[in-house]
Amino acid sequence: MNAKDGLQWRPCACAYSPISPTLTIQVQKWLGDKIKPTVVTSDMKKDKISSLLKSFQNERAPGLLLISYETLLGNLALMKAKNPYGVIVCDEAHRLKNTETKVWKELITLEAKCKIMVTGTPVQNDLNEFYALLAFCMPDCLGDPKEFRKAYANPILKARDLDATDKEKERGEAADLKLRGLVSSVMLRRNNDVIAKYLPAKYELVVFCVLTDAQKQLYRQELEGAARSKAVAKADGGGTSTFKTLTNLRKLCAHPQLIADDPLHRVALGALGVLPAPSGHGGGGAVKLRPQLSGKMATLLELLLQVKKELSKS
């Protein structure tokens, strides 16, 4: 964009969740040396963040800011100093599907000539969520919430009822077609059939992880405890929670520390050294993760170490 085209470069802000190291690589790939992005991450000190944002706001040349949602919310006053932006791009846009959340209410106050929302998460069949996303980008596209419900949401939802009349179904279908017509001009959808040919091959491997001796011991202990509880409950004429037993079994299959708050296993877990130390003894309730106690975690650790080794060679 340049002056002779009747347009001016304005700063661009991109909100991400979270900031990925590959973002700057992608910017360089597509823009080359035309724009050097300002990257602001949540792990930076407050003074550093303020300095980077002020420097970005004072730039006269075209600028691109990459910032996480959380960091943006924490520095909204600085962000508003540059209103309006040229473009605001919101990655993981499904985070903005609720008009009552703080992130939606705060970000809507940022002005821009153009807003783009990107998400790989399908929007569910909730028209209120769909309205929130569209209203963020184009506030006047569907009217206010009351107008949207009257013109689109209510007729469409009524038509979905099992006892809907033919007339209600006709109204719902008409509202649905009109809504689709409106959004088709502002929404670009790409399903897996379209993008699969541009993505690298995907391989899924099923790895069977054997339980460790500690997990086997706790597994048997959980089953025995459940059997005792069932016998006692039967004698008293009551019942037991099978769901709780299944939940505990699932947790301990992942890692024994996930059931550290269960009184039934405190003695065994204490012997394994996976219970948090009392805060009065300098432990502060913290405990170090021990991957070797879990078949899954031990396998995962081995895979990650192998990946790290391979990446260090390249």
Q: Write the pLDDT tens digit of every residue in 248-300.
A: 999 999 998 888 878 888 788 877 776 655 444 444 456 677 888 899 999 99
Q: Are residues 115 and 19 both part of a single domain?
A: yes
Q: Are residues 49 and 129 both part of a single domain?
A: yes
User: For the purposes of burial, counting CB atoms within 10 Å of the CB of 131, is it exposed (0-12), middle (13-18) or buried (19 or more)?
Assistant: buried
> Cis (ω within 30 of 0) for the bond into 155?
no
The answer to the question of residue 283 being in a domain is no
Residue 134, token pair as written in the block: 């569209």
Per-residue pLDDT at 77 exceeds 80: yes
Q: Are residues 35 and 127 both part of a single domain?
A: yes
**Whole-number Å distance between alpha carbons of 217 and 201:** 41
126 Cβ contact partners less than 8 Å away, ≥ 6 residues apart = 97
Q: Are residues 113 and 69 both part of a single domain?
A: yes
- Residue 184, domain extent: 141-200
Q: Are residues 103 and 24 both part of a single domain?
A: yes
The answer to the question of residue 282 being in a domain is no
More confident: 168 or 195: 168
Lowest-confidence segment of 48-62, 171-185, 231-245 by average pLDDT: 231-245
pLDDT digits (tens, 9 = 90+) for 184-228: 888 888 877 888 888 888 888 888 999 999 899 999 989 998 888
**Whole-number Å distance between alpha carbons of 5 and 13:** 22
What is the structure's pLDDT at 79?
Answer: 87
The H or E element containing residue 14 is: strand 12-16
In terms of average pLDDT, the best of 14-18, 102-106, 139-143, 188-192 is: 102-106
Instruction: Look at residues 63, 185, 178, 69 and name the one whose alpha carbon lies nearest to residue 119.
Output: 69
Q: What is the mean pLDDT of the chain?
A: 82
What is the structure's pLDDT at 178?
Answer: 93
Q: What's the pTM value of the predicted model, to 2 decimals? A: 0.61
Residue 53, token pair as written in the block: 């944002």
Q: What is the mean pLDDT of residues 119-147?
A: 83
Q: Are residues 171 and 135 both part of a single domain?
A: no
Our CA dihedral for 20, 115, 96, 141, rounded to 10 degrees, sits at: -160
Q: Are residues 2 and 134 both part of a single domain?
A: yes
What is the structure's pLDDT at 38?
Answer: 87
Reported confidence tier of residue 150, pLDDT bands at 50, 70, 90: very high
Q: Are residues 148 and 182 both part of a single domain?
A: yes
The answer to the question of residue 83 being in a domain is yes
182 Cβ contact partners less than 8 Å away, ≥ 6 residues apart = 141, 142
Q: Are residues 75 and 11 both part of a single domain?
A: yes
Q: Are residues 1 and 135 both part of a single domain?
A: yes
Q: Are residues 166 and 110 both part of a single domain?
A: no
Number of folded domains that form the chain = 3
Asked if 214 and 252 count as a contact pair (C-beta separation under 8 A), the reply is: no
Per-residue pLDDT at 13 exceeds 70: no
Q: Are residues 68 and 163 both part of a single domain?
A: no
The answer to the question of residue 207 being in a domain is no
The share of the chain scoring above pLDDT 70, in percent, equals 85
Q: What is the mean pLDDT of residues 62-73?
A: 87
Per-residue pLDDT at 183 exceeds 50: yes
CATH code, domain carrying 128: 3.40.50.10810
Q: How far is CA 150 from CA 84, 142, 181, in A?
A: 32, 11, 17
The answer to the question of residue 286 being in a domain is no
Residues paired with residue 87 on neighbouring β-strands, in sequence order: 12, 114
More confident: 122 or 99: 99
265 Cβ contact partners less than 8 Å away, ≥ 6 residues apart = 218, 221, 222, 256, 259
